[in-house]
Amino acid sequence: MNAMTNRIEGALCAWRKALGDDAVQFENDALRVYSLDTSDFSTSPVAILLPATLGEVQQVVRIAVQFLIPLYPVSTGRNWGYGTANAPKDGCAIVDLSLMSHIREFDVELGLATLEPGVTQGVLQSWLEERGLSFMVPTTGAGPRCSLLGNALERGYGLTPIADHFAAVVAIEAVLPDGTVYRSPMMDAGVSNGFKWGVGPYVDGLFSQGNIGIVTGMTVALARRPEHVEAFYFWIDSDADLEVAVNSVRGILQQEGSNVGGINLMSASRFLAMSERFPEGQADKGQILAAEVIERLARRAGAAPWMGVGAIYGSRRHVAASRKAIRSALSRVAGRVLFMSSTKARRIAALTRWIPGNRSRRLARTLETMRQGLALLEGRPNELALPLAYWKSGMPPDRDLDPARDRCGLLWYAPIVPIRAADARRFVDLVRAICAAHAFEAPITLTSVSERSFDCTLPLLFDATCAESARRADKCWRALFAEGRRAGFLPYRLHPRYAAMVTNSETPFWRTAQKIKDALDPLDLISPGRWTLPFEEQAVAITTIQKEPHHV
Ligand SMILES: Cc1cc2nc3c(=O)[nH]c(=O)nc-3n(C[C@H](O)[C@H](O)[C@H](O)COP(=O)(O)OP(=O)(O)OC[C@H]3O[C@@H](n4cnc5c(N)ncnc54)[C@H](O)[C@@H]3O)c2cc1C
């Protein structure tokens, strides 16, 4: 046995003693499940660890230090399109925190929930329903089986009024690489007041898209379900009107403030990928649907070259006033604007039963999709958005969709685009050209994450079982990133396989991040490679910092 095998054997033995045999898995079948991705990226872990308490996480870390085995923590490991439970490198033990699924505290007056990593959107929804508590789950398109804490750490977002999920985090508890416990200043003082910042430097942020600890608890602010929620949909009948639509969206966000959640501008191909099957016989043979075909199919499905979706939250009077303002702001550009609440959708659905034939079936299907979309906007999770991942890789199952398990090919390209007409046009033209050159459609959605910025989510969709398609997707993502960066569009989040494309020892930002990492995790044991400089550059960064004692 060599030294490495000895260390692994020693660690496995110590972890089994600390957690129990069932909580330490190292059989090939178990390891293989954790190596699945929605791309051809895959690494080999040495073990899967399933701690159930804060104390067990501390033991996991201390044993990792003793035997020098790196750890990769995941909450539910369903970061589909941005990674999964796959560590960035071979040889890590995956710390699967899904058994830590308690809602530790809930402050009904302030709307503060203290959650463990395994609390999913679905778990929180059932918990709130059982207690008759009228709060919204911070839903995302990823569905009920995804962790709230994992999503917040990734700085994920949704469409409910608290759209920026890390912004809603007011306190963090984490195990540091030396096995000690970190708590945010207010939490550490035993105070729960909903104030995010505390006094002194703001350290919590280092845990989001970070690799300096294992987060075991988080207090998040939840939005109360208001008296009324009303979705609005609008149809932009010509691609040439994108610029006017962008200006109108910015106007609505600036005018209506927090009454309106995030607004989505969805291209025709995105609408199709979310709502229709890929045309029979054409699935992923390296060819793409021509723009005219996409437009024709979208029109047949009742969509337009660009579709807008958003929601108004508030009292009935507030909603009525915003409805009027939104209708007026969109009058110049939208061919049609439709406002819909779940009550109205239910009433119309009841009426469609009296319409005979195919038309009624089509209408019933559209209304069901709208009803599920409304549920997401009202903070009730569901799997409505997940079939998107299956567009090029077969039929989704009826429930419990899992794009990695089902070998769907998906890589998200998610850059920030300013809500300016000229920037949006420049961006859309650029990504359409790059996607076409690599034989991919460009199913773009621009989602407002503030009144200043859109995040674009562009899914590269393919069949992950086809090696050639997976290679092509990787090449296309790299081209999008490189050309996008040159044009000033940078992602807000990315798959671990691309981390080395952003970390760079030349920049003060990454030199500083590396220095913090080195100070807290000198053995590089937590998520190595997730956000660190490539190994050869770490030495450069340290030397540069040493040579620059007065560097600011
Ligand atoms: C069709 C579709 C739609 C989607 N829609 C959305 C959307 O609307 N919004 C959105 O944000 N995302 C969306 N996603 C992306 C993704 O699936 C979700 O963000 C999902 O919630 C992330 O996975 P997770 O919660 O299991 O986190 P995990 O995979 O568990 O973790 C995510 C990252 O955080 C780190 N991490 C997790 N837990 C810890 C911890 N306890 N301590 C330290 N580090 C930790 C992990 O190492 C990993 O890098 C979508 C995906 C698909 C396929």
264-304 tens-digit pLDDT: 999 999 999 998 888 866 555 667 888 888 988 988 888 99
Output the CA 462–ligand 1 centroid distance in Å: 20
Strand pairing of 47-49 and 93-96? parallel
Q: Does residue 116 register a pLDDT over 90?
A: yes
Q: Can you tell me the mean pLDDT for 166-191? A: 96
CATH superfamily assigned to domain 228-497: FAD-linked oxidases, C-terminal domain (3.40.462.10)
Q: What is the mean pLDDT of the chain?
A: 93
How far is CA 376 from each of CA 227, 412, 438, rounded to the nearest angstrom? 16, 21, 33
Strand pairing partners for 393?
none
Query: Residue 456, SS3?
Result: strand
Fold agreement between 3-96 and 103-221? no
- Residue nearest ligand 1's atom 21 by CA: 151
Cβ–ligand 1 contact at 340 (below 6 Å)? no
Q: Tokens 């912004």 identify what position?
A: 167
Work out the number of other CB atoms within 10 angstroms of the CB of residue 386. Answer: 22
**Gyration radius from the chain CA atoms:** 24
**In the prediction, which pLDDT does 547 show?**
47
Which residue among 75, 372, 448, 454 has the greatest number of ligand 1 atoms within 8 angstroms of its CB, and so is best to mutate? 75
Residues 6+ apart with CB under 8 A from 350: none
pLDDT tens for each residue of 93-111: 999 999 999 999 999 999 9
Q: Tokens 């550009």 identify what position?
A: 333
Strand pairing partners for 522?
none
Cβ–ligand 1 contact at 74 (below 6 Å)? yes
- Residue nearest ligand 1's atom 1 by CA: 386
Cβ–ligand 1 contact at 403 (below 6 Å)? yes
Q: Give the residue with greater pLDDT, 493 vs 361.
A: 493
**In the prediction, which pLDDT does 282 show?**
59
**In the prediction, which pLDDT does 284 show?**
53
**In the prediction, which pLDDT does 374 show?**
95
How far is CA 152 from each of CA 207, 258, 368, 457, 488, rounded to the nearest angstrom? 10, 20, 29, 17, 25
Q: Which residue in 466, 515, 523, 456 sits closest to 490, CA to CA?
A: 456
The helix (H) or strand (E) run that includes residue 363 is helix 357-377
Cβ–ligand 1 contact at 521 (below 6 Å)? no
Q: Does residue 361 register a pLDDT over 80?
A: no
Output the CA 463–ligand 1 centroid distance in Å: 21
Q: Cα–Cα distance between 473 and 484 in angstroms, integer?
A: 16
Q: Does residue 45 register a pLDDT over 80?
A: yes
Cβ–ligand 1 contact at 77 (below 6 Å)? yes
Q: Which residue in 232, 220, 288, 229 sits closest to 433, CA to CA?
A: 288
Strand pairing partners for 220?
113, 169
**In the prediction, which pLDDT does 467 show?**
95
pTM: 0.94
Cβ–ligand 1 contact at 385 (below 6 Å)? yes
Q: Does residue 507 register a pLDDT over 70?
A: yes
- Residue nearest ligand 1's atom 31 by CA: 150
Instruction: Say if residues 75 and 85 touch (Cβ distance below 8 Å).
Output: no
Instruction: Say if residues 378 and 228 touch (Cβ distance below 8 Å).
Output: no
Q: Can you tell me the mean pLDDT for 494-499? A: 95
Output the CA 550–ligand 1 centroid distance in Å: 39
> Phi/psi of residue 75, each to 5°?
-90, -60
The helix (H) or strand (E) run that includes residue 536 is helix 535-547
Q: Cα–Cα distance between 485 and 477 in angstroms, integer?
A: 12
* DSSP structure string for 167-209: TTEEEEEEE-TTS-EEE-HHHHTT-----S--SSS--GGGGTT
342, two tokens = 């779940």
Q: Cα–Cα distance between 226 and 246 in angstroms, integer?
A: 27
Q: Can you tell me the mean pLDDT for 204-217? A: 97
Ligand 1 atom with the smallest distance to the CA of 159 is 8
Which residue among 41, 80, 157, 498 has the greatest number of ligand 1 atoms within 8 angstroms of its CB, and so is best to mutate? 80
Ligand 1 atom with the smallest distance to the CA of 403 is 53
433, two tokens = 């050209």
Q: Does residue 419 register a pLDDT over 90?
A: yes
Cβ–ligand 1 contact at 411 (below 6 Å)? no
Output the CA 270–ligand 1 centroid distance in Å: 21
**In the prediction, which pLDDT does 540 show?**
52
Work out the number of other CB atoms within 10 angstroms of the CB of residue 360. Answer: 14
Output the CA 138–ligand 1 centroid distance in Å: 13
**In the prediction, which pLDDT does 292 show?**
87
| Size (the chain), residues | 552
Output the CA 72–ligand 1 centroid distance in Å: 14
Q: Which residue in 221, 222, 203, 223 sits closest to 213, CA to CA?
A: 203
Cβ–ligand 1 contact at 388 (below 6 Å)? yes
Which segment of 309-318, 443-452, 504-513 scores lowest on mean pLDDT? Answer: 504-513
**In the prediction, which pLDDT does 550 show?**
38
Work out the number of other CB atoms within 10 angstroms of the CB of residue 405. Answer: 14
**In the prediction, which pLDDT does 535 show?**
62
- Residue nearest ligand 1's atom 34 by CA: 150
Query: Residue 137, SS3?
Result: coil
DSSP 164: B
CB-facing half-sphere around the CA of 452: CA atoms within 13 A: 0
> What is the residue extent of each domain of the chain?
3-96, 103-221, 228-497, 503-547
Task: Please state which CATH number belongs to domain 103-221.
Answer: 3.30.465.10
- Residue nearest ligand 1's atom 36 by CA: 74
**In the prediction, which pLDDT does 483 show?**
98
Which residue among 56, 60, 72, 74 has the greatest number of ligand 1 atoms within 8 angstroms of its CB, and so is best to mutate? 74
State the chain's maximal CA–CA distance in angstroms: 80
Ligand 1 atom with the smallest distance to the CA of 80 is 17
- Residue nearest ligand 1's atom 40 by CA: 215
Q: Does residue 551 register a pLDDT over 50?
A: no
Output the CA 77–ligand 1 centroid distance in Å: 7
Residues 6+ apart with CB under 8 A from 344: none
Which residue among 78, 181, 204, 212 has the greatest number of ligand 1 atoms within 8 angstroms of its CB, and so is best to mutate? 78
The CATH number of 3-96, from 1.20.120.420, 3.50.50.60, 3.30.830.10, 3.30.43.10, is 3.30.43.10
Cβ–ligand 1 contact at 138 (below 6 Å)? no
